[in-house]
Copies of this chain bind each other. A is one copy, B any other.
């Protein structure tokens, strides 16, 4: 494959919006096109991610809709859906299109709108990402899935609710400096520990919110990227899955799909976890961040909790995780999240992240998880 670079990024404000998800994507895409400094008509294909549009907006077939809204109604476009890893999956396939030489400039991203539907419906639609035959009928929703994971991790490693709380506190502290974040407000461990239980041991402040928003990135071939002021190279973009069903997983304290996708990405990039300067990972719940830091090889198994407690994952710490504020503070529009994580890493590697900048970041990693830990994507990025 040819080398592929990100030359433009765009993200809407995350939070509540009164526009359709395709319109939110279009806003992010216009920002990405401007950021790339290209003419809109240079875009040769659109990769579009969305999860619940059919349920929440009565809208399928969103690829041509987004393309039409952008004034690019004739380019090839495809909609991707891989639960919460949706736009990261779209990104990986878009990298293949540019890498294969099919196109030189591709627009990829996604959007979600969910805050206009009642919360119980939003919870139900999200639960469609777990199995309809065995899991949904038991009443299992995602807080329950991650509560089971948290319990397994606590039993095996002694991870504590306080350690989990530190993840939330850190991500809210980071998010204060992200103008696009849904919640820009510091919290304390007490805020988390005294919040109501959602699914024991997870409390309200262990959970990321429902969010509307869009995110987009522009991919380019090396030849096109060389004209950009600071291309960020895609060193690897890898995917792995695990069994769909929780009851078939051997050890709920691990996410083997993360381990597999990370191993593939490190191998392809010729880098290891020790080379990574900044990470955006999937903290849909605080325990998810702890398990991900272990699965990505940033810490030994069982050390994710202590690492959070000791501040190793803060900006200025050993390995800064989620400088954007993460899903917890920035918000989690599920179809947009993967692309938004990539936008943050690109911004960090360019040195453009302002007060949330990770000093000297040259290699970055994004990690996005979908469903009952059944889908994981890991990408690595570097600058010249």
> Are B245 and A68 neighbours in the complex by a CB distance under 8 Å?
yes
Q: Report A47 CB to chain B, min CB distance, Å.
A: 9
A383 at the interface (CB under 8 A from B): no
Give bound CA distance, A131 to B59, whole Å: 7
Give bound CA distance, A74 to B258, whole Å: 11
Residue of B nearest to A126 (CB): B60
> Are B101 and A59 neighbours in the complex by a CB distance under 8 Å?
no
With A55-B54, A260-B74 known as contacts, the answer to whether A1 contacts B60 (CB < 8 A) is no
A244 at the interface (CB under 8 A from B): yes
Report A210-243 CB contacts with B as 1/0, cut-off 8 Å: 0000000000000000000000000000111111
> Are B64 and A125 neighbours in the complex by a CB distance under 8 Å?
no
Give bound CA distance, A371 to B62, whole Å: 10
Q: Which B residues are in CB contact (< 8 Å) with A242?
A: 64, 73-74
Q: Which B residues are in CB contact (< 8 Å) with A65?
A: 131, 244
Q: Which of B20, B60, B82 contacts A61 (CB 8 A)?
A: B82
A13 at the interface (CB under 8 A from B): no
A18 at the interface (CB under 8 A from B): no
With A79-B81, A82-B79, A375-B77 known as contacts, the answer to whether A61 contacts B239 (CB < 8 A) is no
> Are B89 and A96 neighbours in the complex by a CB distance under 8 Å?
no
Copies of this chain, count: 2
Chain A stretch 53-84: residues in CB contact (< 8 A) with chain B:
54-55, 57-61, 63-65, 67-68, 73-83
> Are B128 and A61 neighbours in the complex by a CB distance under 8 Å?
yes
> Are B51 and A241 neighbours in the complex by a CB distance under 8 Å?
no
Residue of B nearest to A257 (CB): B74
Q: Report A317 CB to chain B, min CB distance, Å.
A: 32
Chain A stretch 344-362: residues in CB contact (< 8 A) with chain B:
none
A3 at the interface (CB under 8 A from B): no
With A76-B241, A244-B65 known as contacts, the answer to whether A81 contacts B100 (CB < 8 A) is no
Report A158-181 CB contacts with B as 1/0, cut-off 8 Å: 000000000000000000000000
Give bound CA distance, A75 to B240, whole Å: 6
> Are A61 and B129 neighbours in the complex by a CB distance under 8 Å?
yes
Q: Report A262 CB to chain B, min CB distance, Å.
A: 13
Q: Report A73 CB to chain B, min CB distance, Å.
A: 4
Q: Which of B57, B82, B93, B136 contacts A63 (CB 8 A)?
A: B82
With A1-B101, A54-B128, A57-B132 known as contacts, the answer to whether A239 contacts B64 (CB < 8 A) is no
Q: Which B residues are in CB contact (< 8 Å) with A364?
A: none
With A61-B374, A68-B248, A242-B73 known as contacts, the answer to whether A133 contacts B20 (CB < 8 A) is yes
Give bound CA distance, A132 to B248, whole Å: 39
> Are B1 and A125 neighbours in the complex by a CB distance under 8 Å?
no
With A96-B97, A375-B64 known as contacts, the answer to whether A132 contacts B59 (CB < 8 A) is yes
Q: Which of B68, B76, B100 contacts A240 (CB 8 A)?
A: B76
Binding site for B on A (CB under 8 A): 1, 20, 51-52, 54-55, 57-61, 63-65, 67-68, 73-83, 89, 93, 96-97, 99-102, 125, 128-133, 136, 238-245, 248, 256-257, 260, 370-371, 374-375
Taking A65-B244, A79-B81, A79-B82 as known contacts, 5 extra A-B pairs with beta carbons closer than 8 A to each other, sorted by chain A number, are A20-B132, A60-B128, A61-B130, A74-B256, A76-B239
24 inter-chain pairs at a CB distance below 8 angstroms, sorted by A residue, are A1-B100, A1-B101, A20-B132, A20-B133, A54-B55, A59-B131, A60-B81, A60-B83, A61-B83, A61-B374, A63-B241, A63-B375, A64-B375, A65-B244, A68-B243, A73-B241, A74-B241, A75-B241, A76-B239, A76-B240, A80-B80, A81-B81, A96-B96, A96-B100
7 smallest beta-carbon distances between A and B, as pairs: A100-B100, A76-B239, A64-B374, A61-B83, A61-B129, A73-B243, A68-B244
